Structure 1
Amino acid sequence: MHDHAPSPGGIRSAGHRRLLTISLCLTATIMVVQVVGALLTGSLALLADAAHMFTDASALVIALIAAAVSARPADDRRTFGYQRAEVFGALINAIILIVLATTVGIEAVGRLVDPGETEVAGPLMLVVAAVGLIANAISMWLLSRAQQTSINVRGAYLEVMGDLIGSAMVIVAAVVIVTTGWIPADAIASLMIAVLIIPRAIALLREVFSVLAESAPKGTAVADIRTHLLGYDGVVSVHDVHVWQLTRGAPVFTAHVAVAPELFADGRSAALLSKMQSCLAEHFDVEHSTFQLEPAEQSDCEPHHA
């Protein structure tokens, strides 16, 4: 007996795709401004932030493509639809982050070891970085709600967050250069941007692998769900429980439930099934649940798994 309620929308909703599009336009515009600013000022930190902006723009494009793909309906071959496209998009984002961090880090260390006669125009660097900070703050605000229900939007959100921090570091470096003339502050800011990228990339990769490994969603206590179901009258045991997620915000639950034979005889099994499905949806945020109800005697004869 089944319930195939639709899962939360994630970035599959038109509203979320619109937010991603707006963020993409903001990111691409500021990226161009920062590239021009880096060329005019000679700032490696601005160039690093511009490179990060480029990866943000790429991430948003990937997210939009994944959104369009994942919105396609389920069919006989892909019975859960295309929601996993979001996960693969997030995986690509994480790889981009790692490549970016490595490239920026190597360049920053090289400039610190051999600064040569590097000159950086601090005042213009400060203005460009401030513009980037404002744009990133707007993008984060736009994506903040959508990222709670979509792993792919979360990937884009984390990248914008990193850019916000990066812009703040560039501002600090620019202030140091303007006030003291100490040019290595630019390379140090670049290196710090690279260091900050790595933990975000690892966190996103861990979440992607958790989904692909079909682990129980973070915060989902399988034992608590089992205990809750055992509290219903007539339920003898709950076994073969499986909880996983198609993507962030789309958990799936299946279980075998052994019930007293009189529930089938009295016609109360349908009401019990409805109660259990409502329980998972209301108390555990699991919209897609599948239960196999079986008489207790039959359950005793079958091998059980956790």
Structure 2
Amino acid sequence: MSAETDRRWLTLALALLVAFMLVEAVAAVMAGSLALLSDAAHMLTDAVSIVLALVALRLSSRPPKGGYTYGLKRVEILSAQANGLTLLLLACWLAHEAVHRLFSPPDVEGGVVVWTALAGIVVNVACAWCISRANRSSLNVEGAYQHVLNDLFAFIGTAVAGVIVVTTGFVRADPLATLLVVALMVKAGWGLVRDATRVFLQAAPDHLDPDTIRRRMAQLPGVEGVRNLHVWLITSGEPTLSAHVVVRGDCHAVSRDLRRILAKEFALSHVTLQTEHANGRLPASPAAALEV
């Protein structure tokens, strides 16, 4: 899927979110509902997350230039981390407000809450569908998707709270629904911050075990040993490997076979291999270090 296609779907989701967010903010003030206000605030972070995603998509598509030998691909990881942090910070503020309202609950117009929340469910389903059409293997796009998905769950909780207020008069259902939203926001926010931090710390991707890769490389005929093996992500979906390989025989053939195995079995196509003959001498050929 092209970056241009991703941008179209994200832009459509952004337009839907912003339009409904303004309506919901007015409804929250009219109803005196913290749950609706928290949903509106959450939708604001949704909109910001999509704007960040759009900016990151444009920047990360720029080709390598000057000192940026990988281009600006990691801008999308910065965007994902910013999305996670905004979720966590907003969750702290909403938790504080919800606890305060549990002890001093204000009057809440349950009917307005119910109808606004039901409309929010429809809008968020549409937005989630739009973003799901984009490339969710990107941590950046996944961050925007998690924002919207959490907002969908929040609206469901808010609708239930509104029904409880209307049918029983139990106004504390409103801040309780807000605390449910907070729990969902913390879960999603922490996941995004954790995954983005792993990329910045150049940790191996979850689906690639360096020890397994090392053992598989060492099984290839002609390989005496594998040293200084590193596996990391340049950005989402772009795993990279570098290694120092001790070989016997034809180093070119061994390097070619290693690259084939790494691509086929581990989906590693960005590979840098430095080969060294088992007798301790580097090959005379300038192809001793091969990169694809």
Q: 2:91 aligns with which of 78, 101, 109?
A: 101
In structure 2, distance between residues paired with 1:170 and 1:37: 13
1:258–1:299: 8 Å Cα contact kept in structure 2?
A: no
Gaps of 5+ in 2: 283-292
Match of 1:70 in 2: 60
* Residue 186 (structure 1) shift: 1.0
Aligned partner of 1:173 in structure 2 is: 161
1:239 Cα shift?
1.2
Confirm or deny that 1:263 pairs with 2:253: no
Is the contact between residue 147 and residue 157 of structure 1 (CA under 8 Å) also seen in structure 2? no
* CA displacement 1:53-94 (0-9 Å, x = unmatched): 001101111111111111111023111111110111112112
Percent identity, please: 37
Distance 2:201 2:78 in 1: 13
Match status 1:19 vs 2:9 = yes
TM-score (norm: length of structure 2):
0.91
Structure 1 counterpart of 2:75: 85
CA contact (8 A) 2:6 2:133 kept: no
Instruction: Report 1 or 2 for greater relative contact order, CA contacts < 8 Å, sequence distance ≥ 6.
Output: 1
State the TM-score, normalized to the length of structure 1: 0.87
1:3 matched to which residue of 2? none
Could you list the structure 1 runs, at least 4 aligned residues long, displaced by more than 6 angstroms after superposition: none
Does residue 138 of structure 1 match 2:120? no
Distance 2:133 2:227 in 1: 36
The separation in 2 between residues aligned to 1:231 and 1:272, in whole angstroms, is 11
CA contact (8 A) 2:9 2:133 kept: no
- Given that 1:94 and 1:202 are in contact with CA atoms closer than 8 Å, whether structure 2 keeps it comes out as yes
Per-residue deviation, 1:197: 1.1
Once the two structures are overlaid, the 10-residue window that deviates more, 223-232 or 172-181, is: 223-232
Aligned amino acid, residue 116 of structure 2: V
Report the secondary structure of 1:297's partner residue. Answer: coil
What is the CA distance between 1:233 and its match in structure 2? 2.1
Q: What residue identity is the alignment partner of 2:121? A: L
Q: Which residue of 1 aligns with 2:279?
A: 297
Q: Does the C-alpha gap of structure 1 residues 299 and 48 become closer, same or farther in structure 2, counting only changes over 3 Å?
A: farther
Are the equivalent residues in 1 in contact too, given 2:247–2:254 (CA < 8 A)?
A: no
CA distance in structure 1 between the partners assigned to 2:147 and 2:216 by the alignment: 39
Amino acid across the alignment from 1:263: D
1:221-260 paired onto structure 2 within 5 Å = 221-260=209-248
C-alpha deviation, 1:167, in angstroms? 0.5
2-structure distance, mates of 1:194, 1:152: 22
**Which residue identity does 1:221 align to in structure 2?**
D
> Residue 4 of structure 1 corresponds to which residue in structure 2?
none
Offset, 1:43: 1.4
Shift of 1:147: 5.5
Matched-pair contact (CA < 8 Å) for 1:230–1:236: yes
Deviation, structure 1 residue 146: 4.1
Post-superposition CA distance 1:221-272 (Å, at most 9, x none): 1122122222222122111100011122111100111111x315xxxx2x43
- CA gap 1:299/1:153 in 2 versus in 1, 3 angstroms: farther
- Per the alignment, do residues 299 and 27 of structure 1 end up closer, same or farther by CA in structure 2, a change over 3 Å counting? farther
1:103-135 CA distance string (max 9 Å, x none): 1111111112122xx332222221111111122
Gaps of 5+ in 1: 1-8, 301-306
Deviation at 1:299, TM superposition (A): 6.6
Indicate conservation of the 8 Å contact 1:169/1:189, yes or no.
yes
Q: CA RMSD in A?
A: 1.8
Q: How many residue pairs align between the two structures?
A: 282
**The residue matched to 1:242 in structure 2 has which SS?**
strand
- Structure 1 residues 135-184: Cα deviation after superposition (integer angstroms, max 9, x where no partner): 21222223236454211111111111110110010011011112112111
> 1:119 and 1:299 mapped to 2: Cα distance?
81
Question: 1 CA distance for matches of 2:30 and 2:264?
Answer: 57
Structure 2 residue identity aligned to 1:181: G
8 Å contact kept, 1:98–1:198: yes
